[in-house]
Amino acid sequence: MNIADARRPNEIIYLDQPEKVSMADSWFDYGTANHFWVRHRNAVLDRNFGKALRRADQVGEIGCGSGLILNYIAQRYGKAVDGFELNLHALQQCPPLPGQLHIYNIFSRHPSFIEKYDLLMLMDVIEHIEDEVEFLITVGQHLRPNGHVLIGVPMRQHLYSAYDKADGHYRRYSQERLKSITLASGFEIEQFIQWGHAYLPLLLLRKFMLKNVSGDDAIRQGFSISPAANVLLSGLRLLDIFPTFGWTGASGMLMARKSE
């Protein structure tokens, strides 16, 4: 399917069977393209990694969920990105997309994907993975020599809350841990940024407010938002213009190159 055909219904290619993943299905009810946090993440992606996206020929997203990133890249860059997911419920919520959607377990190491991609994105994925190093090593096998991985994660373990637990997060990250597991997985780090420092007080407040909340209620109370509040909080992304010199941020993104 090309960009012009993007309005056609998606075909889901089954290379493996769907599996239960460490991710709350209810998140997809609230994580929409217009959510202030999703729009902020897109802006960070553009500002810091837009050139890499334009330069890459073969691009894929592992753990693509309901296609928020895939759809944004198709609209913003006119680029078809392959999506890989094990959660069928999430894939079925994807808008019409130009790239291919697959039910695929990367540990299957399908021959057609080995060393295929110039860039693979893991946007808010590895916090859902118990053994990140084994996972990242396998991701690297799907990259061409000198291919790149782009990893997005939530930062700061002291902000870990009932929301994180309900959403299937094993952890939040420090800069040191993220860099350490990336290097241990056979990558060379090229760029690391933190963003969303204006959200830190909100995340501390969320942790306190959700102290006695669990399950889908924690997802709903921790991520859903009224239209008025969404407009108001959208302005917080403008505060990223103030430098923090890498000292703080609610989320992080890391670009690394596959070692030769």
- List the domains of the chain with CATH numbers: 3-258 (3.40.50.150)
pLDDT digits (tens, 9 = 90+) for 168-216: 999 999 999 999 999 999 999 999 999 999 999 999 999 999 999 999 9
E-state strands within the chain: 12-14, 59-62, 82-85, 101-103, 117-123, 143-154, 187-195, 251-258
- Which stretches in the chain have pLDDT values below 50? 1-4, 6
Answer whether 88's CB lies under 8 Å from 18's CB. yes
Cα-only R_g, the chain: 18
Residue 246: per-residue pLDDT: 65
> Which pTM was predicted?
0.94
At residue 9, the pLDDT reads 75
Whole-number pLDDT of residue 247: 75
pLDDT at 4: 43
At 21 the pLDDT is 92
